[in-house]
């Protein structure tokens, strides 16, 4: 599917007050494979033919993306705060639109032949809650570097683990303030717990619900420019295993824990793990859609 950036869409990006806006909008457009993906929660924008609206973020930002579908072409028309959808007029044409083309990476010149050294290869490592190498030490070490994205995927989430009072919750809040995208995917909650997830969106977490979720995956995409001589060995980290996002699962604040076994994936596998996380998000339900459906049901 061909993707076009309209002049009005580009104007919206240029005039945005929030510097996180452009990144958040563009991350919701194309996947890692360069293809436009129609989100599960996208819905018709009434009043303009072939127009659709996508919720880019919740909480205090509430960004919106409005696009138009014509056959195998999609035109990104407008983007902004939720007020952008009010009294929006139809486009008169698409003159000046720019087609987004896939980037072609040129082949690099061959490097000089080097002696094979097994130490240069990252094979990952097992992480445990009660033995070395300990899961909590690896996670806590990530508190001291900056991140581009943090993905937290767990069917069970305890409020204590990511509350503003906990060290992990404070780390996540600092990350958001540092322009990190924090994504949480979990199972749909009981209606009584929905306020907790709404409070996370007010903290600018992106929260999604996936009914059949049983995966536990934690991704920390590090900003390399945040590294210094004290943490230069830190790397982008993907952790998969049995531990839920709970006190007993991660054992971040207590010596008491479940017997969990996780695995830090080799760095070469991080991209594949991130693609899986994005697939889950694209097939999940956000807080607003879940609340609306739950209200109709009950």
Q: Which two tokens stand for residue 238?
A: 């993907």
Pairing type for strands 217-222 and 285-286 reads unpaired
Q: Is the pLDDT of residue 169 over 50?
A: yes
Q: Within the chain, where are the H helices?
A: 7-14, 21-27, 135-141, 159-162, 167-177, 194-202, 247-250, 270-282, 287-297
The three-state (H, E, C) secondary structure of 59-106, written as one string:
CCCCEEEEEEEECCEEEEEEEEEHHHHCCCCCCCCCCCCEEECCCCCC
pLDDT grade, residue 142 (50/70/90)?
Answer: very high
Task: Write down the pLDDT at residue 62.
Answer: 74
User: Could you give the CA distance from residue 154 to residue 261 in angstroms, rounded to a whole number?
Assistant: 15
Please give the residue that has the higher pLDDT: either 206 or 32: 206
Compute the C-alpha angle 210/216/178, nearest 5°.
85
**Assigned CATH class of 123-297:** alpha beta
pLDDT grade, residue 106 (50/70/90)?
Answer: very low
Task: Write down the pLDDT at residue 108.
Answer: 44
Contact status, residue 250 vs residue 166, Cβ threshold 8 Å: no
Q: Is the pLDDT of residue 262 over 90?
A: yes
Location of each CATH 3.30.2310.20 domain in the chain = 2-100
User: Could you give the CA distance from residue 207 to residue 197 in angstroms, rounded to a whole number?
Assistant: 7
Task: Write down the pLDDT at residue 103.
Answer: 33
Domain covering 2-100 in this structure, CATH number: 3.30.2310.20
User: Could you give the CA distance from residue 100 to residue 26 in angstroms, rounded to a whole number?
Assistant: 12
Location of each CATH 3.30.870.10 domain in the chain = 123-297
User: Could you give the CA distance from residue 285 to residue 187 in angstroms, rounded to a whole number?
Assistant: 10
pLDDT grade, residue 118 (50/70/90)?
Answer: very low
pTM: 0.65
Mean pLDDT of 265-280: 93
**Per-residue model confidence as pLDDT tens digits over 22-65:** 777 777 666 555 567 677 678 888 888 889 888 877 655 578 88
Task: Write down the pLDDT at residue 1.
Answer: 73
pLDDT grade, residue 117 (50/70/90)?
Answer: very low
107: left (phi > 0), else alpha (psi -120 to 50), else beta?
beta
% of the chain with per-residue pLDDT over 90:
45
- C-alpha neighbours within 13 Å on the C-beta side of residue 77: 24
Contact status, residue 3 vs residue 99, Cβ threshold 8 Å: yes
Please give the residue that has the higher pLDDT: either 253 or 194: 194
Sign of the CA dihedral running 231, 271, 216, 38: positive
Task: Write down the pLDDT at residue 31.
Answer: 56
């Amino acid at each position: 599917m061909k993707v076009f950036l309209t002049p009005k869409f580009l104007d919206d990006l240029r005039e945005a007050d929030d510097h996180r806006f452009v990144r958040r909008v563009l991350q919701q457009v194309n996947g890692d494979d360069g293809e436009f993906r129609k989100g599960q929660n996208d819905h018709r924008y009434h009043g303009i033919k072939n127009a659709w609206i996508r919720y880019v973020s919740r909480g205090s930002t509430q960004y919106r993306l409005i696009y138009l579908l014509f056959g195998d072409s999609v035109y990104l028309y407008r983007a902004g705060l939720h007020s952008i959808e009010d009294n929006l007029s139809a486009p008169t044409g698409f003159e000046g639109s720019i087609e987004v083309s896939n980037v072609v990476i040129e082949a690099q010149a061959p490097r000089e032949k080097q002696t094979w050294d097994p130490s240069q290869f990252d094979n990952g490592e097992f992480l445990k809650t009660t033995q070395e190498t300990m899961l909590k030490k690896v996670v806590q070490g990530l508190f001291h570097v900056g991140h581009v994205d943090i993905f937290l995927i767990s069917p069970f989430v305890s409020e204590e683990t990511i509350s503003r009072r906990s060290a992990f919750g404070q780390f996540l809040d600092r990350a958001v303030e540092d322009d990190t995208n924090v994504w949480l995917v979990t199972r749909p909650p009981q209606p009584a717990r929905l306020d907790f997830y709404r409070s996370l969106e007010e903290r600018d977490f992106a929260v999604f619900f996936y009914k059949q979720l049983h995966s536990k995956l934690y991704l920390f995409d590090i900003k390399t420019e945040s590294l210094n001589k004290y943490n230069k060995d830190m790397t982008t980290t993907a952790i998969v295993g049995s531990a839920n996002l709970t006190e007993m699962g991660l054992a971040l604040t207590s010596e008491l824990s479940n017997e969990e076994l996780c695995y830090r994936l080799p760095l070469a596998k991080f991209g594949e793990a991130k693609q899986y996380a994005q697939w889950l998000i694209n097939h999940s339900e956000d807080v607003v859609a879940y609340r609306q459906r739950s209200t109709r049901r009950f």
